[in-house]
Amino acid sequence: MPMFLPRHVLFALLMFALCGARGLAAPPEVERDYQEQVLPFLAKHCFECHGPKDGKAGLTLHDLGVDFAAGDNADQWKEVIDRINLGEMPPEEKPRPDVRQAFAVVQWVGRELKRAERESRLAGGQVMLRRLNRREYINTVRDLLALDDNFAATLNETLPADGKAEGFDRVSAALFVDATQMDAYLAAARLIAEEAIVVGPEPAGEKIAFEAEVKTQPERDTHRETIFGERVEYPLGVKQYEVHKTGVLHIQSKFGNGRGPLTWGRFESVVLNDLVTEDGYYRVRIRAGAARGRRGEPIQMRLAYATGTSVASETIVPVNHSLEQPGLVETVLFLRAGEPGQSRRLTLQWNGLEKVIRGNEKWAKTIKTPSRAVPQQIAAAKAAGDQQKVDELYKLRDDYIRRAKEFNEPFFAYTEDYADHTDEVPKLFFDSFEIEGPVHESWPPPSHRLLLGGPTPENADLQLARDVVARLLPRAYRRPVKPGEVEQITAVVQRGVTDHDMTFPQAMRLGLQAVLCAPQFLYVAEPSAEAEAPRALDDYELASRLSYFLWSTMPDETLFRLAEQGQLHRPELLRSQVERMLNDPRSAQFVESFAGQWLSVDQFGSVEPANQYQDYDAELEEASKQEVLAFFAEVLARDLPITNFLDSDFLVINERLARHYGIEGVEGRQFRKVAITPAHHRGGIFGMAGLMTLLADGTRTLPVRRAAWIMENVFNDPPPPPPPNAGEIQPNTAGENLTVRERLDRHRNEPTCASCHTRLDPFGLALENYDAIGAWRTHANGENFRRNSPELDVSGELPSGRRFDNLEGFKTALMAERERFAKAFSEKLLTYALGRPVGYVDRRTIDELTAALDENDYRLRSLVQAIVASEAFRTK
Amino acid sequence: MKPHANRRPLDRRSFLRSTSAGVVIGLPFLEAMSRNSLSVATAGEITEDERPRRSVFCFWGLGMNGRDYTPQETGKDYQLTPILKPLAPHRDDMTVISGLKLTHSGGHSGDRTFLTGTATHAADAKLRISADQELAEVVGRQTRFPSLQLGVRRGTGFGSPQDNTLSWTRSGTPLPAENRPHVLFDKLFRPETPEMLAQREESFAEQQSVLDAVREEARRLEKSLGKNDRRKLEEYFTSIRDLEKRMATDRQWLHKPKPQVEAPDFGDEQSLDPEKTSLDYRRYQRLMFDVIALALQTDSTRVISYMARKDNSDGTGAYRKETDNPYGYHTMTHHGEDPDKLKWWTIVDTHYMEEWAYFLDRLKNITEGDGNLLDHTMVVWGSSGGTINAHNNHHLPTMLCGGGRLGIQHQGHLVKEDVYLGNLWQTMFGVMGVPVPGDFQGGEADGIISEVV
């Protein structure tokens, strides 16, 4: 293939846009590397059997060439490297190829395979028509119709999840519409229309109310225990709650195990099956007061609804009233009805479940605990046929029963800590409870008022329908309407009235369903006539690209206004709008969507750590997801350099993560920025617990997987595909005590594998100090390592030759290669922004983006600005 | 409207009694039914050419303890291994196939590849149609339900790490699985009330109005688009066409009465839902198999996919509750040669195999023609994990059961080293009389397993 001059390249691009041709534009080095590295290797080792003279197994390699898009070239090339990787070719009796040369071929083919796949989806660089993904759809209907957030979120279950290409769910090639998808759109539109447009007056809610002292059974005066099946009864001692005339006083607690203020104790529960028959808001009023006691922690209540079901939710409310003067604790909950017949209850809990009351230790130590061993001993004696022993044990058993019956001490008492200070015990006085709903903030709801102006007569005329549609459509289609479009939808409303016997509001719902299923709504469409060359977007199209890029939703009033005035495309306005949008809370959608996918947060939780990782719990898992997003949000909000992703002198964490990371002085569930030093062994994305857990398998670390992830996500240079059936490293076998590194060394016996792994593995081995749940370690752990576990060696050398001895050194080496990361990150963000693969056609854009980063201290917003300013972003 | 008026023409009523579960099925009424809609009616009388051919794909994630599962010997006279013991009564109706492989994924995350050949969980993987759906495209039109998607967990699971379903449409959309036997039963057999029928009719009509309108809108949009975009919009038109076809079929079936079948005793339904901690696993599992048998027997469907155990974790942790097993299923599969884990793994696998034996038993106890339901149904036990400890996706534990009267020649223990799992699907397509689709399994099938046909 000839070397293109820039003008030729441009011409080629144009041809792409016109003909949808594929595979024309290839970087010049592809051909060069083929000539210099690949062809000589093939000629030396392969052509004898698979060349011009002979085509063994029907395979000739001399004519495969560099065009991976032609015929089944890609498959054949894949076969070639698989055989080389497996060591099957050249055959055994032939001279072995030089490992480095073989690897160069494998790497070249691997990159070209990836490139061919990208180019095939690239359509010459044109941004293709694509449908909204699920996130965008839900955000858009919420903003379009002023729907409630909670309701909108339920649509997640109605719509299927989206496919991804290039790592993101914004790429046309992976966003299909088929019958199943369309069926889901119809179902979603129906739900939305029923929510948005209401019929009739506000439905009356229902109420459940009770007084605590009436519902609560007084605690018994005695405590019952059993011993060998026989019941024994003791004086209760200290009560866990006391029923008073006006309410119930709860005292903490005999079950707390002293686990402290983060755990919760249940004190009441209410069945809501008959009250919550539709999704909606329900008002809860609890009259209560509390005393913090010695612990001093504010007393809170947790209202947990339908725990363990798909409609579960919970709310935490503080109790700010004193024991002496209880007051109303009021909150509004969004509760979901779930499936018919599903049992749902609201459980009332309070915090700080700690051990205030203890059981009688004498009873436990002298009677109950030792008696537990007897049945097993009896069974063992019976099995051994030792009748004498059996008889003795039966006597022992009877003795325990006798002593248990004689025992007559109070069973519960305050723990030592509180025995002399019973006035310092945390307490909760629970007076009464009331729940009522569904309640509506207003009626008709905002969506109805937005669409129809106010309550709507059942038989309004078609003129109203036309007005409503004319107001709605420009926002739904995100551009001024075209002739006939309003009439089309109005006709649907008309058919509702005439063909389906609907009232006016019902027919309006049908019309709204048609809007929500129309391709003009579902797709981000940028019309372009047949023979048109790349063209600048109009201001409305630009507004949509911006809002879906930075907010994952439709443009707001400001963007629409600027589009209407024809101002938006002006560079200085564009800049200020991007700033405004990034400062807007809606940019959290960008963080969640882009960072969530780039850093694989959407896959966190997929690895289930084994029992031996006792520190891993649901709270840590949740916090580890939040951490990544909070960190990215911090970099975005403060416009920090993207090199912070490689290493940083701060983290954004909460108490749970701080505990996991061994960082002191972080309290509470809130995430906040925390300064760290190298001694903390964290910073950047590499030490993030969620990522390290994902890139392990729950029992052990997977350095190759960690390395491959880094190559893919940090350097956008995925390793060549592994040979088929590439094994994985065996877990540590008891007794051998080999570190993963040592096992990996054994595993790399095939020289061609070794060459790739030599390049790849250091990235993963460098992170070996993070165990399978991202905890810091210096010695091997997990698996079967119990005693004498070997010390870890994390040293290595990057392909560039930079050596490192430890994690800090590794990060220093990465920092030195930050330009590579900047390029990769630019490619990722551009892919996301455009919703299409980024390929060779974009090389100048990428140069511009990395230059912008370089000039601006690598600050994140400078990259976002440069992308928005780029020609690729502003043209169809 | 009297939708039930012609539903009671039959004076003869007979019962099928299942020996194991005590499920009583009232046989429906011969003349009222189309030949194919209710084959249970003609059980014992149905002629050879009318008998439906059926395929059931069952997936058991995370493989099995191969050391106690894979027979040493090959051929019909192999020695039953500890895990295979519960299947002793069925050894002539099954072939244990060893050596099959997947290449695109596997270990403990090959659920998506199992029936698709190439789709994986990798972010960039191209999602494609699953074999059961390709089968349903051809044979599905003859039954009320073209196919059923079942699983131990509900929905698609898409977006979470492991799928809940094995089934994918042609454009790569996952189809949600059902996991409650009583809900499945209602879907299959509960008669629609006149109100529900009227409501469904009305809703079809409304949907049609919406589809008519948006098709017009799409035509308008199409005119303004460039060539590439127009090609993309073609999907939209196709989706409307396909949906209309589907709705038309659904409407026809809507007015054909459902088979009348007496419900099994579902008892406490809360404990039948694997989403709940109160799950009574064995009861759930057996009722699931009961209802599947009923679905096949009444010819309500001929294609079923069932993710009976999930990948990565079994889905419910069911057997940990029943025994004192200290390990999760995933933990046992990564045994690291720990003998205790291996011991427990075999115990649990044997439990699961007892359930499988129950299923085969059920099918066998239902008479059909001069054989039984199992003779006319190919039932596969499969997994995407070879040796999980090493994350292998080769040497997958696989069993083909039943289908004796469809032409399956069982071979005892058959070793097919390095052969695609897709070749088993291709074999089944042949038996079903369905041509092998283009780009079958994305290329991960290159022939049939000729020994069994």
Q: What is the 3-state secondary structure (H, E, C) of B224-254?
A: HCCHHHHHHHHHHHHHHHHHHHHHHHHHHHH
Which chain A residue is nearest to residue B218, measuring alpha carbons?
Answer: A519
Give CA–CA dist A295/A289, Å, rounded: 16
Distance of CA A367 to the CA centre of its chain: 51
Q: Which residue has the tokens 């409609």?
A: A311
Of A176, A517, A732, the CB nearest to B235: A176
User: What is the mean pLDDT of the segment spanning A515-526?
Assistant: 97
Q: Does A155 touch chain B (CB under 8 A)?
A: no
**Interchain contact, B337 vs A605, CB within 8 Å:** no
pLDDT at A221: 87
Q: How many CA atoms lie within 13 A of A238 on its CB side?
A: 21
Q: Which amino acid is at B295?
A: A
With the CA atoms of B36, B38, B42 and B46 taken in that order, what torsion angle do they form, in degrees rounded to the nearest 10?
A: 20
User: What is the mean pLDDT of the segment spanning B247-271?
Assistant: 88
User: What is the mean pLDDT of the segment spanning B268-274?
Assistant: 85
The residues in A 627-686 lying below 8 A from B, measured between CB atoms, are: none
With the CA atoms of A768, A771, A772 and A775 taken in that order, what torsion angle do they form, in degrees rounded to the nearest 10?
A: -140
Question: pLDDT band for position A784 (50/70/90)?
Answer: low
Q: Does A500 touch chain B (CB under 8 A)?
A: yes
pLDDT at A394: 92
pLDDT(B451) > 60:
yes
- What the block records as the tokens of A826 is 């630019």
* Beta strand B377-382 pairing with B394-402: antiparallel
Of A500, A519, A606, the CB nearest to B236: A519
- DSSP 8-state code for residue A168: B
Chain A closest-CA separation from residue B70 CA (Å): 20
In contact, A646 and A810? CB cutoff 8 Å: no
Quick: pLDDT tens for A644-667: 999 999 999 999 999 999 999 999
pLDDT at A728: 59
- What the block records as the tokens of A679 is 């001694």
pLDDT at A531: 54
pLDDT at A532: 59
* Beta strand B412-420 pairing with B394-402: unpaired
User: What is the mean pLDDT of the segment spanning A314-318?
Assistant: 92
**Interchain contact, A179 vs B242, CB within 8 Å:** yes
High-pLDDT (> 70) share of chain B, %: 86
User: What is the mean pLDDT of the segment spanning A319-340?
Assistant: 92
pLDDT at A569: 96
* ipTM of the complex model: 0.81
pLDDT at B99: 93
With contacts defined as CB-CB under 8 Å, which chain A residues touch B231? 20
Q: Could you give phi then psi for residue A649, rounded to 5 degrees? A: -100, 20
Question: pLDDT band for position B32 (50/70/90)?
Answer: very low
Question: pLDDT band for position A207 (50/70/90)?
Answer: very high
pLDDT(A64) > 90:
no
Mean pLDDT of chain A: 87
Mean pLDDT of chain B: 85
H helix intervals, A721-859: 740-747, 751-765, 807-816, 818-834, 843-855
With the CA atoms of A26, A30, A35 and A39 taken in that order, what torsion angle do they form, in degrees rounded to the nearest 10?
A: -110
The residues in A 293-312 lying below 8 A from B, measured between CB atoms, are: 308-310
User: What is the mean pLDDT of the segment spanning A500-518?
Assistant: 95
**Interchain contact, A167 vs B220, CB within 8 Å:** no
User: What is the mean pLDDT of the segment spanning A34-41?
Assistant: 89
Q: Which of A263-267, A866-870, B61-65, B338-342 has the lowest mean pLDDT?
A: A263-267
Quick: pLDDT tens for A789-830: 888 999 999 988 899 999 999 999 999 999 999 999 999 999
Q: Does A793 touch chain B (CB under 8 A)?
A: no
Quick: pLDDT tens for A528-560: 865 556 889 999 999 999 999 999 999 999 999
In contact, B398 and B106? CB cutoff 8 Å: no
With contacts defined as CB-CB under 8 Å, which chain B residues touch A157? 155
User: What is the mean pLDDT of the segment spanning A148-169?
Assistant: 89
H helix intervals, A39-127: 39-45, 47-50, 73-86, 99-122
Q: Does A856 touch chain B (CB under 8 A)?
A: no
User: What is the mean pLDDT of the segment spanning A1-17?
Assistant: 39
Quick: pLDDT tens for B345-390: 999 999 999 999 999 999 999 988 888 999 999 999 999 988 777 6
pLDDT at B28: 34
With contacts defined as CB-CB under 8 Å, which chain A residues touch B228? 20, 123, 126, 128-129
Give CA–CA dist A350/B336, Å, rounded: 43
pLDDT(B15) > 60:
no
Q: Which of A703-707, A717-721, A775-779, B432-436 has the lowest mean pLDDT?
A: A717-721
pLDDT(A684) > 60:
yes
Chain B closest-CA separation from residue A523 CA (Å): 9
pLDDT(B42) > 60:
no
Which chain A residue is nearest to residue B238, measuring alpha carbons?
Answer: A178
Q: Which of A114, A115, A129 to mutate to test the interface with B (most CBs of B within 10 A)?
A: A129
Which chain B residue is nearest to residue A173, measuring alpha carbons?
Answer: B232
Closest Cα partner for A657 from A604, A616, A704, A609? A616
With contacts defined as CB-CB under 8 Å, which chain B residues touch A130? 232
Question: pLDDT band for position A332 (50/70/90)?
Answer: very high
pLDDT at A522: 98
**Interchain contact, B103 vs A523, CB within 8 Å:** no
pLDDT at A700: 84
How far is CA A777 from each of CA A530, A769, A783, rounded to the nearest angstrom?
A: 62, 5, 14
Give CA–CA dist B54/B379, Å, rounded: 8
- What the block records as the tokens of A524 is 């981000």
With contacts defined as CB-CB under 8 Å, which chain A residues touch B162? 606
pLDDT at A691: 97
Distance of CA A533 to the CA centre of its chain: 40
By CB neighbour count within 10 A (0-12 exposed, 13-18 middle, 19+ buried), where does A750 fall? Answer: middle
User: What is the mean pLDDT of the segment spanning B237-249?
Assistant: 93
pLDDT(A6) > 50:
no
User: What is the mean pLDDT of the segment spanning A567-574?
Assistant: 96
Quick: pLDDT tens for A161-181: 888 888 899 998 888 898 989
Q: Which of A20-34, A116-130, A670-684, B105-119 has the lowest mean pLDDT?
A: A20-34
Question: pLDDT band for position A749 (50/70/90)?
Answer: low
Q: Does A26 touch chain B (CB under 8 A)?
A: no
Question: pLDDT band for position B43 (50/70/90)?
Answer: very low
pLDDT at A1: 34
- What the block records as the tokens of A48 is 């004898």
**Interchain contact, A126 vs B228, CB within 8 Å:** yes
Q: Which residue has the tokens 């997947």?
A: B102
With contacts defined as CB-CB under 8 Å, which chain B residues touch A597? 123
- DSSP 8-state code for residue A367: I
- Highest mean pLDDT of the ranges A195-204, A453-462, A862-871: A862-871
With contacts defined as CB-CB under 8 Å, which chain B residues touch A611? 326-328, 331
* Beta strand B54-60 pairing with B377-382: parallel
High-pLDDT (> 90) share of chain A, %: 55
Question: pLDDT band for position A283 (50/70/90)?
Answer: very high
